[in-house]
């Protein structure tokens, strides 16, 4: 049985040489198709809120930062053997910090995650609160 000819193979006698197909440059910054979908589950919901200020500290280092956390998708349950509370939703433990509310909302838009903003009244600057 004859083998089909491989067009990339050099048909001359001697060692076999294969030509690699031209590869795209690693830094060409060209989109290769539609935007990638979010790696988060489709039923994930984000909650954006200001980083709470500790009452026992007077510093204001993180007073204008915002945090993004995910709402629980499943109720926690009590382990009958140990009595510990557990859950099956790993997103509950994910907390992201952002320098502004706009940055957190932009992240949600890019990841295609619906978000809910909780925080101080609009226009209130948290650095002036005592």
Q: What is the pLDDT of residue 53?
A: 80
Alpha-helix residue ranges (DSSP H) falling in the chain: 101-111
Per the prediction, the chain carries an average pLDDT of 78
Structural domains of the chain ordered from first start:
40-52+63-74+89-120 (3.30.160.190)
Q: What is the pLDDT of residue 39?
A: 84
> What Rg value do the Cα atoms of the chain yield, rounded?
27
More confident of the two residues 17 and 105: 105
Distance of alpha carbon 110 from alpha carbon 104, whole angstroms: 10
Is the pLDDT confidence value at 130 over 50? no
SS3 48: strand
């Amino acid at each position: 049985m004859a083998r089909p000819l491989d067009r990339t193979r050099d048909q001359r006698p001697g060692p076999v040489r294969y030509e690699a197909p031209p590869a795209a440059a690693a830094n060409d910054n060209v989109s290769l198709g539609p935007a990638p979908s979010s790696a988060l589950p489709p039923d994930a919901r984000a909650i954006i809120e200001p980083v709470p200020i500790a009452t026992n500290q007077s510093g204001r280092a993180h007073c204008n930062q915002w945090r993004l956390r995910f709402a629980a998708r499943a109720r926690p349950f009590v382990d009958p053997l140990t009595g510990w509370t557990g859950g099956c939703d790993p997103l509950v433990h994910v907390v992201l910090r952002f320098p502004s509310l706009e940055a957190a909302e932009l992240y949600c838009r890019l990841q295609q995650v619906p978000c809910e903003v909780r925080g101080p009244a609009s226009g209130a600057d948290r650095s002036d609160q005592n």
